[in-house]
Amino acid sequence: MSERKSILLICGSGASSGFMAANMRKAAKKKGLNYEIKARSESELADYADSIDALMVGPHLKSEIDDIKEQVPDKVKVILMKPDYYSILDGQAAIDHLNSELDI
């Protein structure tokens, strides 16, 4: 099994990213990836920033991405999710995007 990665998804309230996280967990499990994927609201980011490897941000927060990047350590890969897969909660496409950003 691969190295464990901690992934946090954020959106405005945490609701839509919660569904996306569940779909991503299923897709990661099918691929044998050792990913811990959680979803939280944007307001909770500071509570998790030091313990994650990657942060996936809902596309509707695009205008805030620079502020969000400043809230996490440099080691955290910040990824703006794409509207095409986010809007349909396609966990497989999100995992593929994540892996391409992490060079996996």
What is the pLDDT tens value at each position of the chain, 104 positions in all? Answer: 568 999 999 987 767 889 999 999 999 999 999 999 999 999 999 999 999 999 999 999 999 999 999 999 999 999 999 999 999 999 999 999 999 999 88
Return the ∠ at Cα 76 (arms to 70 and 52), rounded to 5°.
Answer: 115
Q: How many CA atoms lie within 13 A of 99 on its CB side?
A: 17
CATH class of segment(s) 5-101: alpha beta
- Cα separations in angstroms, 24 against 2, 29, 49, 60, 80: 16, 8, 20, 19, 15
Where are the domains positioned within the chain?
5-101
| pTM score, whole prediction | 0.94
